Structure 1
Amino acid sequence: MKRTAVAASAIVLLLPLSACGGDAEAGDGSTVTVTVGYQSKTINTVTAGTLLRSLGYFEKQLDALGDGVTYKVVWQDYATGAPITAQMTAGKIDIGSMGDFPLLINAARGKQLNRPTHLVSVTGYNLRGGLNTIVTAPDSALTSLKDLKGKRISTSVGSAADGTLVRALRRAGIDPDDDVRKLNQQPAVGASALSAGSADALSQFVAWPGLLAHQGKAKVLYDGAQLNLPTFHGVTARADFAQDRPAVLDAFLKAQAQATDYLNTHPVTAAEEVAEATGLPAEVVYLYNGAHGVATFDPVIKPQLVSALKQDVEILKSAKLIGDVDVDSFVDDRYVKKALGATYAQRLAAPPPAAAGEVWPKGSERTRTFASPAALLRHVAAHRDTVRAAYVPDATTGTPWFADNAVWVADGEELLPFVAPATARAYVDRHDGARVITYADALERAS
């Protein structure tokens, strides 16, 4: 029987149970439905979700199996990882993508409910933790973490952004349970709360901090990369699905690798495609997913990420969201190693892209890179009307940020960008004569 692959979108509550899960088959036994849970707005999962779906690579890989089966791919979009885990442990989602903290909850719930899952690949990561950011309102008087004592902070409890908040507050000598009022909110609700003044700060994962900054609705208080602890997003699969349908999981991981290569080779085009699918501004997508963006995309499971995952367990245990998690048993790189073949070792050894400033000209499908912040500023000053977006890496953490939203420091002839005011002040305190200046002043000095 000639096999075809069909992409379908569905809302899980409207799906009949027989249409969910890799084991679901049509009456004649010739059709298998594969259900993929993803988060379109969490754009560091796009190689296993939004971009992969738009490119159709998974369906093409399934079509190439030639096993006489008709595969129907159902894509389910969620705001966070929690509902994906709920549907996976109910046997209704086969493959899902989410951040590192939700992955641990996924592992814990799977074991608890006798529906074990495994981390089978990685999507986007940042080895310093720059995927999460704490922001405040543009006119807020808050300038450091210590200012958050007694304040209302919106976050999504159990998310990597909440983990960043807890760790950052502890380092600042603030008890995250007793010294602040934590508001457990979905990202969109938290963004609205920040704008309305019912939250004093917002700690969230991509792409919310960048989106709010781009819209002029927030400014950075804390760059998650200051923790210098890796954060990442990954792909989890039900253990029974992986065992029963190894060829299907292999097809997914091969397709994910293709989508990763596409994103890395065509970063501007990929950003535009993700923007069109999600409604996010392409400039924000590129901030995170660009050639020198906050995230690095690679499906291999790096040892640094596994180590960080083990350190994350304590944060979730202290919040009473999980018990002990055997991370080594949860991580299963056999499938991605098989899918990538000889390239796995090459990818594993490859370093992340070097930090660099970028300018995205209007109407162009290419960006320009610059060796120094001053060179980038000179270009922007000379082409003010034709610059779509400009990105600069933080001088201490390397986290890319919008040039016009960065905190700029003049140190002699040097012009240095910082994501957060605290890191800029720390630099000024260590360098005599250095001082914080405005973006307009930085442009003027550069030109």
Structure 2
Amino acid sequence: MSATIFQLRHAAERRAALRVLALTAASWLGHGSVRAQGSPNAAAPKAGPLRIGFQKGSINLVLAKSLGLLEKRFPAGSVSWIEFPAGPQLLEALAVGSIDFGATGDSPPVFAQAAGKDLFYVGAEPPKPDSSALLVRPDSPLKTLADLKGRRIALQKGSSAHFLLVQAVRRGGLAWGEIQPVYLAPADARAAFERGSVDAWAIWDPYYAAAEIDSPVRVLATSRGLTNNNSFYLASRGLAGNEAALRELFAALTEADRYLQTQRKDAAQRFVQFSGLDPATVQRVLERRPPSPVGPLTAELVREQQQVADAFTQLGLIPKTLQVAEIVWRPGQSLVAQR
């Protein structure tokens, strides 16, 4: 199964934002001449690409790519797209300067911050608690979360599935040391799960939906009641210092979400064509996905993310206590004082 993933409403606001973007884009895209024309492509400097990291489940990014929404807002030829199998790999690329912007679940940024990576939370989507789950085979003897004791459980280390499993183990009255985590990327985890090498698999959509459609599985638990399964957008320091560019990105991603809500059939088909996923899998993914406009992090989201970081610290899975708020971008606030 291949996976090549994926206006401002008021004209006056758009023109103003583009003027700022034209003047400041060189700080993160590179240096070049600015041409004072009316279109986004003419108003920005000749520069290198805005590199977007995405995963199969990054639906707003997938649709934005399919509809060309970023290409309409940024300089011609400046936007490029790079696929990753999971959030940890994406954030490693962001930290070393291979990409400028990307989306992940709740856990990858915590591990990245713990490792001292220079990146920032810049945006978020609403919670999706039904979009990840802990799966077992239909004939598995595991019936409750307490039954996980001593079992081998596949998951991508540092992914949103990691925090789901942490919470599931806690809810089952177990200590983390009473299970056997098996750290595997999604494709390898599915193979191990299907051949019976592991007893359970913690996973997110669309891998979760694909397993439900393609294979006999049973859901031991979803994230609902365990985690909110939040989705975050992260950026390099350079891009996080360019508020005009971030607002253009948020506008494009929110437009992609509106397109999904109003043109569902076409949006679903675009996701099928772009991702290579089965239509039934895509339908399942969309059924459990709420409307997901993109904007800056709220105080509540920062608090929830701090709880994720604290849980990993308490278990010794990251080496130090973190303050999530230290790497959260806030509109109108300079990053000079931040790390």
- Work out which of the residue numbers 294, 304, 310 in structure 2 matches 1:308: 304
Q: Distance in 2 between matches of 1:254 and 1:267?
A: 19
CA contact (8 A) 2:135 2:218 kept: yes
Normalised to the residue count of structure 2, the TM-score between the two structures is 0.79
CA contact (8 A) 2:53 2:84 kept: yes
CA shift for structure 1 position 135: 0.6
- Work out which of the residue numbers 72, 86, 102 in structure 2 matches 1:60: 72
Q: Deviations over 1:136-189 (max 9, x none)?
A: 112223222222211111111211111111111112112222x22110011111
C-alpha change, 1:53 and 1:124, in structure 2 (3 Å) is farther
Name the structure 1 match of 2:245.
248
Structure 1: runs of 5 or more not aligned: 1-8, 11-20, 64-69, 336-447
1:235 paired to 2:233: yes
Name the structure 1 match of 2:39.
none
CA contact (8 A) 1:118 1:330 kept: yes
CA contact (8 A) 2:51 2:98 kept: yes
Q: Deviations over 1:178-219 (max 9, x none)?
A: x22110011111111111010111011222222211113311
CA shift for structure 1 position 92: 2.1
Name the structure 2 match of 1:46.
59
1:258 paired to 2:255: yes
Query: 1:146-185 maps to which residues of 2 (within 5 A)?
Result: 146-177=146-177, 179-185=178-184
Q: Deviations over 1:52-91 (max 9, x none)?
A: 111100010125xxxxxx5511100000111221121112
DSSP-derived class of the 2:71 partner: helix
DSSP-derived class of the 1:118 partner: strand
Q: Distance in 2 between matches of 1:139 and 1:102?
A: 32
- Work out which of the residue numbers 71, 79, 104 in structure 2 matches 1:98: 104
Q: Deviations over 1:360-400 (max 9, x none)?
A: xxxxxxxxxxxxxxxxxxxxxxxxxxxxxxxxxxxxxxxxx
Q: Distance in 2 between matches of 1:225 and 1:159?
A: 17
1:287 paired to 2:284: yes
Name the structure 2 match of 1:421.
none
DSSP-derived class of the 2:29 partner: coil
C-alpha change, 1:286 and 1:334, in structure 2 (3 Å) is farther
Structure 2: runs of 5 or more not aligned: 6-26, 35-44, 333-339
CA shift for structure 1 position 285: 2.3
CA shift for structure 1 position 124: 5.2
Aligned residues: 296
Bigger shift: 192-201 or 212-221?
212-221
Name the structure 2 match of 1:202.
201
CA contact (8 A) 2:114 2:318 kept: no
- Mark the structure with the bigger radius of gyration: 1
Q: Distance in 2 between matches of 1:221 and 1:134?
A: 6
CA shift for structure 1 position 121: 1.5
Q: Distance in 2 between matches of 1:198 and 1:34?
A: 41
Q: Distance in 2 between matches of 1:79 and 1:55?
A: 22
- Residue type of the alignment partner of 1:185: L
Q: Deviations over 1:105-149 (max 9, x none)?
A: 33444xx25x3x2222123522xx333201111222322222221
Name the structure 2 match of 1:82.
88
Q: Distance in 2 between matches of 1:216 and 1:319?
A: 35
Normalised to the residue count of structure 1, the TM-score between the two structures is 0.61
Q: Deviations over 1:2-26 (max 9, x none)?
A: xxxxxxx99xxxxxxxxxx943468
CA shift for structure 1 position 296: 3.8
CA shift for structure 1 position 259: 0.8
Query: 1:8-407 maps to which residues of 2 (within 5 A)?
Result: 22-24=28-30, 30-39=46-55, 41=56, 43=57, 45-47=58-60, 49-63=61-75, 70-109=76-115, 112-113=116-117, 115=118, 117-123=119-125, 125-126=127-128, 129-177=129-177, 179-227=178-226, 229-243=227-241, 245-290=242-287, 293-300=288-295, 301-317=297-313, 318-321=315-318, 323-334=320-331
Which structure shows the bigger proportion of residues in strand conformation? 1
Paired-residue identity, %: 24
C-alpha change, 1:195 and 1:26, in structure 2 (3 Å) is farther
Bigger shift: 320-329 or 267-276?
320-329
Q: Distance in 1 between matches of 2:256 and 2:289?
A: 18
